Amino acid sequence: MIRVTAFRWVTPFAQGLVRDLRVRWALEEAGLPYEARLIGPEDQGSAAYRRLQPFGQVPAYEEDGLAMFESGAIVLHIAEQSEALLPVDPVERARAQTWMFAALNSVESAIMFLVRIKLSKAEGTGAETLLTMAQDMVRGRLAELSEWLGGREYLEDRFTAADLLMATVLEILRGNDLLHEVPSLDTYRQRCKARPAYQRALAAQLAAFAENAPAGGG
């Protein structure tokens, strides 16, 4: 049985964003059963978990003696087993894999840079300049992505693991005006999220959070 680590609970701000969702979604698309191993802060720092996930993060992935970490690598591993996530044609497969890396390297890195600046709540002229720079960087990436999509429904000819990753990356900007400035990308994100496999994956993640919520919701 495939096992995926996930947090027992996170604050509402992060619910639906924790990266085990990407792996759950990929497994749902591929039709592969799995079980979630729920962990908390006490597990993250343990020697046993660090042997599985050196950085103490989620998700970690276990399958018949194979242990992996990093959501992108895990999604790629799952996708390589499923035509639903990667085309059989070598050229089409390579294109989809290229967009998988683009989602994580070119787009997510810019978005996370902005997120970290905003979470720091730094003040002063220097902080404002850095925030403006980060926002402009994200705007640029979103504009380039929107231009590529054009009238396409997906990054390539059909939904692939690349769209799965890109949609979860764009989800980080939910509620942010930067995403709403590019309606085509917001529509693309919602199109991907409407897939039944995503809905099942999200429901499973949120169910664990609901079951393990602290008194008063934290």
Q: Write out pLDDT tens, residues 20-60.
A: 999 999 999 999 999 999 999 999 999 999 999 999 999 99
- For the chain, the structural domain boundaries read 2-83+197-217, 90-195
**Rounded mean pLDDT of 119-140?**
89
pTM recorded for the entire structure: 0.96
Phi then psi dihedrals of residue 35, to 5 deg: -130, 150
- Residue 172 contacts by C-beta under 8 Å, 6 or more apart in sequence? 17, 108, 111, 112, 115
pLDDT at residue 135 greater than cutoff 90: yes
Identify the pLDDT of residue 59.
98
Cis peptide before 59 (omega within 30 of 0): yes
- Of 48, 49, 47, 66, the closest CA to residue 57 belongs to 49
Q: What is the pLDDT of residue 215?
A: 83
Q: How do strand 34-39 and strand 2-7 relate by DSSP bridges?
A: parallel
pLDDT for 25: 99
* Average pLDDT across the chain, whole number: 96
What are the pLDDT digits (tens) for 189-218?
999 999 999 999 999 999 999 999 998 655
Alpha-carbon torsion angle 44, 70, 11, 109, nearest 10: 130
Are 33 and 2 spatial neighbours (Cβ–Cβ below 8 Å)? yes
- Domain 2-83+197-217 sits in CATH 3.30.930.10: no
Answer for the pair 208, 6: CB distance below 8 angstroms, yes or no: yes
Does residue 116 have a pLDDT over 70?
Answer: yes
Picking from 193, 148, 175, the residue whose alpha carbon sits closest to that of residue 22 is 193
CATH class of domain segment(s) 90-195: mainly alpha
